Structure 1
């Protein structure tokens, strides 16, 4: 996290580059590098607020702001009409969290500890919810690709809104499940509580400031996507599937790996799978609702995104079945992610 803070220099660099009209690929890189530390700072401020708000409210705040960066980037991408990038980033976040983040965590943790264990009951609940969420996410796409493949997908925004409402309702119910009715299932051994890093007022001010700057940088970032992809030959699908999730979740990804190094695989896996669940049940519905302001967006993925999503979630369910992990499982996950990334890169 300390290393990421040096990247804050790219905030003024990207703003100056935008004012001076530097090349779009350069501004793309500068704004991306500026977003990464801002996302980390947003996470730190949310964590500090959690110390004062208490466990339940703190958990809700972490759930809400955990993927705020991707939500903001997605909003500006929708505003710019880059619906393919938005949908690709949704799929890419889920795929990246399960294959890359979970894979790196298992690999790094497994190299230090021969076998790592985690709370199988909790992970089973999360992975089962994730499977349900992905099924809900892909049904509109399967319907479009099979029943009405010859019709324009934009005609199905009504179905997408219905699915979004159901997903958001399930998200609220999952919070009730984990924080109230079944909170004992999520109880962990007490750990030493470190003093909050910042005062409550300071944490709130930093959170607001980080959110504002992420909004500014996201608008710059999204504005360079189309010219950048044309300039260097990358597809918008690759930007959405690979680059946006890595940029938006770099800080969170590093936290998951660090937790694995500390032999806290419960936390590491919950970050990877829980973040994927948030993307589908919270971020996606909110983006669908926000798209109604501009032009309604449908939840329709292409065939390869669907396959990658389905297999990623099936892998997550398989890994959760035995309650333990090792470095070889991590290698396998990373290998699959590299294959997926290479496929989208070639497109």
Structure 2
């Protein structure tokens, strides 16, 4: 639920950009959102939690499940990108129709995989996703009354409408800002749009780490990345046939695919033992900054 509501602004931003025909920015924002969650949000969480608690632990079985799903997600993005790079040349209508069919079938397959993932996590094997231990109870200085159902639903509607309005302004300003500052659409999407759109879940993940609830931090950061790759990305593929000037396909460039693969590999290596400390956070943040520098300096359409 946290990942879903946290990803709502990202989905709204992507739909607005999709309507404007900014496909490159949409793809970059999807890749950037995954990178921001895997490296920046998790890295800062490890750093903050490690400084406060020295060492923290979380369920290693859960992290292995998340990492395997992320590998599936990255390879699913590699398939249509490779097809486009090697087979779409000139105006070959046969291959272009094949590309369209490939992306549609891929989108449906990923959505089904995400449904099975939720069923596995919630219904058949919820024990694999439990915390290994309870965090120490911290007494709040003030007790707050929970919101009523009407107030909560009303706040959600207002926040969604506001996010949609601000998203349209953000997408409209992003392209002009990038041209004025000499930044590529990929850099704008991967850094600015992704970080702003994913601010909600990033703050939640860091807050949970500061409360020594690393299992919840992992579920927010990595769960959000899985949802973006297996739900939001294929959903946008299908929506693009009805929204915007032309359909959008998962044609990520080589730099985006390479960055995603590096992020998943480092996340798997660093987090696989079920323990975290501040230096692991530094490692993940460093890779994120290096990737941001890469996209700042590479030219358009690399």
| Partner Cα distance (2:31, 2:144) in 1 | 37
Q: Which has the higher contact order (CA 8 A, sep 6+)?
A: 2
| Partner Cα distance (1:320, 1:142) in 2 | 29
Identify the range of structure 1 (155-164 vs 330-339) with the bigger mean alpha-carbon deviation: 155-164
Q: Could you list the runs of 5+ residues in structure 2 that have no partner in the other structure?
A: 138-142
Task: Point out the structure with the larger helix share.
Answer: 1
TM-score (norm 2): 0.89
2:67 maps to 127
| Partner Cα distance (1:258, 1:281) in 2 | 26
| Partner Cα distance (2:145, 2:118) in 1 | 24
> Is the CA contact (8 Å cut-off) linking 2:44 and 2:206 kept in structure 1?
yes
Cα shift at 1:130? 1.2
TM-score (norm 1): 0.78
1:236 maps to 185
Question: Secondary structure of the residue that 1:67 maps to in structure 2?
Answer: helix
Residue 204 in structure 1 maps to residue 153 in structure 2: yes
Question: Secondary structure of the residue that 2:198 maps to in structure 1?
Answer: helix
Cα shift at 1:184? 2.2
Structural RMSD (CA): 2.1
TM alignment of 1:230-309, pairs within 5 A:
230-293=179-242, 294=244, 295-309=246-260
Question: Secondary structure of the residue that 1:234 maps to in structure 2?
Answer: coil
Question: Secondary structure of the residue that 2:87 maps to in structure 1?
Answer: coil
Count of aligned positions = 286
| Partner Cα distance (2:227, 2:76) in 1 | 14
> Is the CA contact (8 Å cut-off) linking 2:61 and 2:129 kept in structure 1?
no
Q: 1:151 to 1:181 in 2, by over 3 A?
A: farther
> Is the CA contact (8 Å cut-off) linking 1:157 and 1:297 kept in structure 2?
no
| Partner Cα distance (1:269, 1:130) in 2 | 13
TM alignment of 1:221-232, pairs within 5 A:
221-232=170-181
2:128 maps to 185
| Partner Cα distance (1:63, 1:260) in 2 | 16
Q: 1:118 to 1:341 in 2, by over 3 A?
A: same
> Is the CA contact (8 Å cut-off) linking 1:168 and 1:285 kept in structure 2?
yes
Q: In the alignment, which of 29, 35, 49 is matched to residue 109 of structure 1?
A: 49
TM alignment of 1:155-166, pairs within 5 A:
156-166=99-109
Cα shift at 1:190? 6.9
| Partner Cα distance (1:306, 1:228) in 2 | 25
2:15 maps to 75
1:329 maps to 280
Cα shift at 1:327? 1.2
| Partner Cα distance (1:151, 1:281) in 2 | 31
Q: In the alignment, which of 103, 119, 142 is matched to residue 176 of structure 1?
A: 119
| Partner Cα distance (1:200, 1:98) in 2 | 33
2:5 maps to 65
> Is the CA contact (8 Å cut-off) linking 1:157 and 1:299 kept in structure 2?
no
Q: 1:296 to 1:154 in 2, by over 3 A?
A: farther
Q: In the alignment, which of 69, 74, 88 is matched to residue 28 of structure 2?
A: 88
Residue 140 in structure 1 maps to residue 87 in structure 2: no
| Partner Cα distance (1:121, 1:290) in 2 | 35
Listed one character per residue, the Cα deviations across residues 189-212 of structure 1 (whole Å, up to 9, x for unaligned) are 6788x8763110111111111111
> Is the CA contact (8 Å cut-off) linking 1:154 and 1:297 kept in structure 2?
no
| Partner Cα distance (2:212, 2:5) in 1 | 25
